[in-house]
């Protein structure tokens, strides 16, 4: 719970500094304070979620690792295997991003994370992957005018 409040305070500080010290939006375009402001909101919001979930787990006495996953991996190996899996997938994403492009690499990365590491259903995996990749692509490409690696397919 303490780490949640720490990240809430960090995010709030970052947002306040970026909103007061930098220009956030001018002439219909994001400026140097835009990304720190959004990042601060995200960090602060996630900090509140962590603090709240920690508080409710304390009250209800829930295990931190679901019982099903404890039985599958064993409590000690669960976090280690997931961490290694994430590191491998992030490394592969970085290797293939330039050659395969943003859309293909991101689709493969998110599908692998959700299906292999998080063990979600195909329905959830495909819906989340399509929504996240398309939203990110259109946000960065058209709203923020950030060039993304096109790969072999030019959109």
Question: Which of 62, 92, 110 represents a domain boundary (last residue)?
Answer: 62
Closest CA relative to residue 153, chosen from 105, 100, 107: 100
List per-block mean pLDDT (blocks of 10 residues) for the chain, which spans 155 residues.
90 88 85 87 92 79 55 62 90 91 94 93 96 92 85 73
Are residue 73 and residue 51 in the same domain, yes or no? no
Query: Which range of residues forms the domain containing residue 148?
Result: 66-155
Look up the pTM and report it: 0.57
Are residue 48 and residue 88 in the same domain, yes or no? no
Are residue 1 and residue 76 in the same domain, yes or no? no
Residue linked to tokens 């039985």? 71
Question: Which of 34, 62, 90 represents a domain boundary (last residue)?
Answer: 62
For the chain, what is the domain count? 2
Are residue 125 and residue 73 in the same domain, yes or no? yes
Rg (alpha carbons) of the chain, rounded to whole number? 19
Residue 47 CA to residue 60 CA, distance in Å, equals 20
């Amino acid at each position: 719970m303490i780490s949640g409040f720490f990240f809430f305070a960090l995010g709030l500080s970052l947002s306040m500094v970026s909103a007061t010290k930098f220009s956030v939006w001018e002439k219909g375009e994001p400026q140097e304070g835009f990304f720190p402001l959004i990042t601060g909101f995200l960090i602060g919001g996630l900090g509140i979620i962590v603090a709240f979930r920690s508080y409710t787990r304390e009250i209800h006495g829930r295990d931190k690792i679901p019982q099903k996953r404890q039985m599958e991996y064993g409590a000690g190996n669960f976090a280690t295997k997931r961490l290694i899996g994430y590191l491998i997938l992030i490394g592969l994403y970085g290797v293939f991003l330039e050659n395969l492009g943003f859309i293909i690499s991101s689709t493969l990365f998110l599908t692998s994370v959700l299906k292999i590491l998080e063990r979600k259903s195909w329905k959830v995996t495909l819906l989340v992957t399509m929504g996240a990749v398309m939203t990110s692509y259109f946000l960065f490409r058209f709203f923020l005018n950030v060039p993304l690696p096109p790969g072999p397919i030019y959109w």
